């Protein structure tokens, strides 16, 4: 039984499956598109909100160093993702990578995890977007009826119609085509980055050097908690974290890390990239570098404009400008945040549909969902299904308590991908790797360890919820996925099938060769 649970899908086979006409996605994305996708999904409320919260509660002005530390953790994971995405340019991201390196059951687990991560992420961001839009509407004198506004703290019936409408609109855009969604993203990201740059440049002229003293405030011990709300590491070892001081920087890093979540979504678009071997590493690493730079600059500016102890936790950038006598920037920043969150929502939804599509193409979910639209060449069936479900979720559910599940899901994926790089290097040293993670196995081990450390800093309650979702996943796999797996029933496309059906079709990886008759 264990041999079937850990059977791996050859990289060549994964690539051949992408050439089946009914299950092939359209290749239309460039390195620029991927970089814009990355920037579009990473820069969200984190840059507008987390900077103030973390500076005030954990690190003071040294929050800039916390962003650097979190960026380094993400960079370690990004190097692993870049190798996999360029070697296995197939939809599914960490799911596909795990299937090629570790085995079917681990791949199912990570795929099930990603479905939850992206679904909740999309819903949480849609609700956040709705809040910003309603705030702007209130400023203009337009007020949403209570029953159609935010569900957070609502009494009686309520449905967040703006959040649901956003998800449904983005679903339509994704069905029509990935290139269209890339063009929409380019426009929105240009607006969002412009807002961030204006904040940085304008704020630089309002910096008071005295606000940086002390740059690393004196450490303050925090009593250890003993409830499910406490971080798991406290319950396991009785370890109590400290705020401020040098250790406070690392506490802050575990919080601001979540402002970086999203670069891994770029890897889900590998199959729709024209030259994935070259462009995937550029898109993943380029977007991460751009966002880390912007985060550090924003944190330096906001802590220089207003003393960290007086920063607002809900809208630190806007309130810092108000405190310096420039209130009109508040509306400008809210506009940038509202516009920017549309791309975060769309790219998370795109990522989820690609993982779902890849799992159905492998037979682990119903094959009905793996047929692409005859005209648009997009996975329209899972896109419509998931779009409607997430719209309902965003409309009816206050999601604050579920948001941390997005974080633990992402970190779990980072750990699995890092392990997968080491395994695939040992089992398939012959594969052509357009991008190679440096210093293997040191970098993947550091990536897995850093991600695990941040996971342990999440609350025990989050771990319990994550475990429940995983148990449900095991049940679905053993009742359906294992018996319907194409790898188990030997229904995969063969080299001969592809050659006969497409005698002049270029193979995406000429370096893989054809020395594997079982393919």
Return the pLDDT at 225: 64
Of 338, 271, 296, 264, nearest to 78 by C-alpha is: 264
Return the pLDDT at 499: 39
Structure token pair of residue 12: 């060549």
Of 291, 216, 224, 212, nearest to 247 by C-alpha is: 216
What is the CB-side half-sphere exposure of residue 162 using CA atoms within 13 A?
A: 26
What is the dihedral sign for C-alpha 182, 383, 167, 333?
negative
Return the pLDDT at 462: 87
Return the pLDDT at 508: 43
What is the dihedral sign for C-alpha 367, 373, 377, 381?
negative
Return the pLDDT at 285: 93
Q: Please state the pTM of the whole predicted model.
A: 0.83
Backbone torsion region of residue 20, taken as left when φ is above 0, otherwise alpha when ψ lies between -120 and 50, otherwise beta: beta
**What is the block-wise mean pLDDT of the chain (519 residues), using blocks of 10 residues?**
80 87 84 90 77 87 94 93 91 90 94 89 85 77 74 63 94 86 85 90 93 91 72 79 84 81 82 90 93 94 93 79 82 81 88 93 93 90 95 78 74 93 94 93 96 87 92 95 86 44 41 35
What b/e sequence results for 96-110 when a residue is b if at least 16 CB atoms lie within 10 Å of its CB, and e otherwise? bbbbbbbbbbbbbbb
Of 333, 299, 403, nearest to 56 by C-alpha is: 299
Angle, CA 386 vertex, CA 416 and CA 337 arms, to 5°: 80
At 273 the three-state DSSP class reads: strand
415 cis-preceded (ω within 30 degrees of 0) = no
Q: Count Cβ atoms within 10 A of the Cβ of residue 255 and give its class: 0-12 exposed, 13-18 middle, 19 or more buried.
A: buried
How far is it, in rounded angstroms, from Cα 77 to Cα 38? 14
Residue with tokens 């797996």: 485
Q: Count Cβ atoms within 10 A of the Cβ of residue 220 and give its class: 0-12 exposed, 13-18 middle, 19 or more buried.
A: exposed
CB 88 within 8 A of CB 97: yes
Of 349, 359, 409, nearest to 385 by C-alpha is: 349
- The backbone torsions φ and ψ at residue 171, rounded to the nearest 5 degrees and listed phi first, read -60, -45
CB 319 within 8 A of CB 49: no
Q: Count Cβ atoms within 10 A of the Cβ of residue 184 and give its class: 0-12 exposed, 13-18 middle, 19 or more buried.
A: middle
Return the pLDDT at 228: 80
For 63, residues 6+ apart whose C-beta sits below 8 A from its C-beta are 51, 54, 55, 252, 256, 299, 303, 308
CB 110 within 8 A of CB 412: yes
How far is it, in rounded angstroms, from Cα 169 to Cα 7? 39
For 356, residues 6+ apart whose C-beta sits below 8 A from its C-beta are 115, 365, 369, 379, 382, 386
């Amino acid at each position: 039984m264990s041999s079937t649970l850990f059977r791996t899908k050859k990289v060549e086979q994964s690539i051949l499956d992408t050439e089946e006409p009914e299950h092939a996605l359209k290749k239309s994305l460039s390195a620029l598109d991927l970089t814009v996708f990355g920037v579009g999904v990473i820069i969200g409320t984190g840059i507008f909100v987390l900077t103030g919260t973390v500076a005030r509660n954990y690190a003071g002005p040294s929050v800039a160093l916390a962003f650097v530390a979190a960026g380094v953790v993400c960079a370690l994971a990004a190097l692993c993702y870049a190798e996999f995405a360029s070697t296995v340019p197939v939809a599914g991201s960490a799911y596909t990578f795990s299937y090629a390196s570790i085995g079917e059951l681990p791949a199912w687990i990570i795929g099930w995890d990603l479905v939850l991560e992206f679904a909740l992420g999309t819903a949480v961001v849609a609700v956040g977007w709705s809040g910003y839009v309603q705030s702007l509407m209130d400023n203009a004198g337009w007020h949403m009826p209570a029953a159609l506004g935010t569900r957070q703290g609502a009494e009686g019936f309520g449905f967040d119609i703006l959040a649901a409408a956003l998800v449904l609109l983005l679903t339509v855009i994704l069905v029509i085509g990935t290139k269209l969604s890339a063009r929409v993203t380019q426009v929105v990201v240009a607006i969002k980055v412009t807002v961030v740059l204006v904040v940085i440049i304008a704020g630089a002229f309002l910096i008071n050097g005295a606000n940086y003293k002390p740059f690393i405030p004196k450490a303050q011990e925090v009593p250890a908690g003993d409830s499910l709300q406490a971080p798991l590491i406290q319950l396991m070892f009785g370890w109590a974290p400290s705020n401020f001081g040098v250790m406070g920087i690392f506490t802050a890093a575990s919080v601001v890390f979540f402002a970086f979540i999203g670069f891994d979504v770029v890897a889900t678009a590998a199959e729709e990239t024209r030259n994935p071997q070259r462009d995937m590493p550029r898109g993943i690493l380029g977007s991460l570098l751009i966002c880390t730079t912007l985060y550090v600059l924003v944190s330096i500016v906001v802590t220089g404009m207003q003393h960290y102890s007086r920063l607002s936790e809900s809208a630190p950038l806007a309130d810092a400008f108000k405190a310096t006598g420039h209130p009109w920037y508040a509306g400008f920043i809210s506009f940038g945040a509202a516009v920017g969150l549309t791309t975060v929502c769309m790219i998370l939804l795109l990522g989820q549909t690609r993982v779902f599509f890849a799992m159905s193409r492998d037979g682990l979910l119903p094959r009905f969902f793996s047929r692409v639209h005859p005209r648009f060449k997009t996975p329209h069936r899972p896109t419509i299904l998931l779009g409607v479900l997430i719209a309902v979720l965003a409309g009816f559910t206050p999601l604050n308590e579920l948001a941390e599940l997005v974080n633990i899901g992402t970190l779990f994926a980072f750990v699995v991908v890092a392990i997968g790089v080491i395994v695939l290097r040992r089992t398939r040293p012959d594969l052509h790797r357009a991008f190679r993670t440096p210093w293997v196995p040191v970098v993947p081990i550091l990536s897995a360890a850093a991600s695990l450390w941040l996971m342990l800093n999440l609350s025990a309650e989050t771990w319990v919820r994550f475990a429940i979702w995983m148990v449900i996943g095991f049940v679905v796999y053993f009742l359906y996925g294992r018996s319907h797996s194409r790898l188990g029933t030997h229904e995969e496309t063969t080299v001969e099938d592809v050659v006969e059906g497409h005698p002049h079709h270029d193979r995406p990886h000429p370096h893989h060769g054809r020395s594997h008759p079982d393919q």
